[in-house]
Structure 1
Amino acid sequence: MRPRLLAAGALAAAAAVLVSGCGSGDDWSRPHPKPSTVGDLGLGFRPAASPAPEATITPRPGSWDGVRPSEGYRVILLTAGKDAQTRTLANAVTKWAEEEDVSMKTIDATAPDQYVPSIVRAIDMAPDLVISVGNDLIDPLALVTASHLAQQFLVVGAELAEPTENVTAADWTGASFRGEGLGMSSAYDPATFTPERAGRAVRAGVAAVLNGLTGIVIWLD
């Protein structure tokens, strides 16, 4: 029942959620082929043993550089918050989408009562991947994602305390907000949210999802 109730709530707030699009010109009105991975992970990305659910792996820097999505990859950038860190992360996702000719739409939730409806709306649009940026979305994601295991999510610059198999995170020391009343990490440092690090996080996280390494944390330090 929960997905239906959440969907009903989404209809009530849909008009308040800002949606915009950019990318390849795909209007998403037609079905598209299942996406695939172009390129291979470099040495040092995959650990020797398959990571357990909720595990953290630390790939070798640059081991994700040769991986990109196939043509027609559909992504929703889900964002909340106007702080500098969130803007840096959102800009990194947008830059990656432009460089890889990804078809991307943005859902910007501008108030707390829009957070859960915005996530449900993203799921209803059936993207290949939802990329979430902004600490305000962490607890709403924990509420919604477990009921929608078929939808892949990537959280950049934060992580869920107990992610399900469809939620991957790309994180680092200085970020690592986890929600669920745990408070901000003592190591939290806004200065670590640089465009360069954010760009690496997006690419490493997407590379993991494309290669089936999901439900884990990709650690970039």
Structure 2
Amino acid sequence: MPVRRRSACALATVFLLAGCNSSDEWSQPHAVPAPVGALGSGFVDPSAPPSPEATITPSPGSWDDVHPGKGYRVVLLTAGTDAQTKTLVTAVHDWAAAEKVSLKTVTADAPSQYVDKATEAIKLAPDLIISAGNALVDPLAVITANHLDRQFLVIGAELAEPTANVTAATWAGASYRGEGLGTSTSFDPASFTPAHADAALRAGAAAVLSRHTGIVIWIS
């Protein structure tokens, strides 16, 4: 009997320790990891870096050698069930898996949730918040200016007047800007291809990692 008691106690201790070790790693102190690699020729002109709110058209592939460092934390903030948004969401998940970043997803299912869900994403204190879905453009235009310590990347759309912490990556056919500007006549749902979404995401992430923020990246 004594032996059985000791075994039970030992087993309980193992379970307690396992419970402690399984806590969410995001709750631990965290410093933004340094990026790996550098931008290639043709992304920006080093002698004349882009000004705030500028639009740049980097050379294709000039972002390929920039990667997030180990332990980089990303929140995907998404809203919408349309095909365009689904393509963007898939691109983010594929990128996160390939780059081995720590990814959490916050989904807003209704307009009444947009601001609260954006706030939830901010409270997770990620290194980067990636927004996917046109419906989030206007809420982000309100929220991002009040959280300059957080970096945002909007893919497939852009804010009309972004602050320095908001970067957008877009292409011909992805022309939503919000703030009453809405969807222009050049908007083309068919342009939301996996290739466009992946290139915009990688170029945008490379810009943020390289501290070229508050700009619009146009994928040619």
After TM superposition, the score normalised by the length of structure 2 is 0.87
SS of 1:171 mapped into structure 2:
strand
Match of 2:205 in 1: 206
Are the counterparts in 2 of residues 53 and 215 from structure 1 also a CA contact under 8 Å? yes
In structure 1, how many angstroms separate the alpha carbons of the residues matched to 2:81 and 2:161?
26
Query: Secondary structure, in 3 states, of the residue corresponding to 2:95?
Result: helix
| Unmatched segments (≥5 aa) in structure 1 | 1-24
Distance of 1:34 and 1:151 partners within structure 2: 11
- Cα offset for 1:34? 2.2
In structure 1, which of residues 37, 45, 57 is the aligned counterpart of residue 43 of structure 2?
Answer: 45
Give a deviation string over 1:72-93, Cα, whole Å, max 9, x none. Answer: 0000000000000000000000
* Aligned-residue offset at 1:176: 1.9
Decide whether the 8 Å contact of 1:76 with 1:130 is kept in 2. yes
Structure 1 distance, partners of 2:29, 2:197, is: 31
Distance 2:199 2:205 in 1: 10
Deviates more, 1:179-188 or 1:63-72: 179-188
CA distance in 2, matches of 1:176, 1:50: 24
Aligned to 2:130: 131
Residue of structure 2 in register with 1:14 after alignment: none
Q: What secondary structure does 1:68 align onto? A: coil
The code of the aligned residue for 1:159 comes to E
Matches within 5 A, 1:167-178: 167-178=166-177
Superposition deviation, residue 220 in structure 1: 0.2
Whole-Å separation in 1 of the counterparts to 2:97 and 2:207: 19
Aligned-residue Cα RMSD (Å) equals 1.1
- Work out the number of aligned pairs and report it: 197
Whether the aligned pair in 2 keeps the contact of 1:169 and 1:205 (CA below 8 Å) is yes
Aligned counterpart, 1:118: 117
Are residues 105 and 151 of structure 1, via their aligned partners in 2, closer, same or farther at CA, if it must alter by over 3 Å?
same
**Equivalents in 1 of 2:76, 2:179: separation in Å?**
22
Per mean C-alpha deviation after superposition, the further-off stretch among 47-56 and 97-106 is: 47-56
Report the alpha carbon displacement of residue 59 of structure 1 after superposing the two structures with TM: 0.3
Task: Report the TM-score, using the length of structure 1 for normalisation.
Answer: 0.87
1:180 partner SS = coil
Secondary structure of the 1:69 match is coil
Identity %: 64
Give the distance between the partners of 1:27 and 1:176, measured in 2 at CA: 37
> Following the alignment from structure 1 to structure 2, what is the Cα–Cα distance between the partners of residues 60 and 26?
39
Residue 149 of structure 2 corresponds to 150
1:26–1:103 contact (8 Å) kept in structure 2: no
Q: How far has the Cα of 1:68 moved from its partner?
A: 0.4
CA contact (8 A) 1:26 1:72 kept: no
| Displacement after TM superposition at 1:26 (Å) | 6.2
The aligned counterpart of 1:36 is: 34
Corresponding residue SS for 2:44: coil
Conserved 8 A contact 1:169-1:218: yes
* Structure 1 position 31, deviation (Å): 1.3
Counterpart CA distance in 1 for 2:30 and 2:145 is: 25
Question: Which structure would you say has the larger Rg?
Answer: 2
Partner of 2:92: 93
Deviation at 1:215, TM superposition (A): 0.3
Partners of 2:59 and 2:176 lie apart in 1 by 23
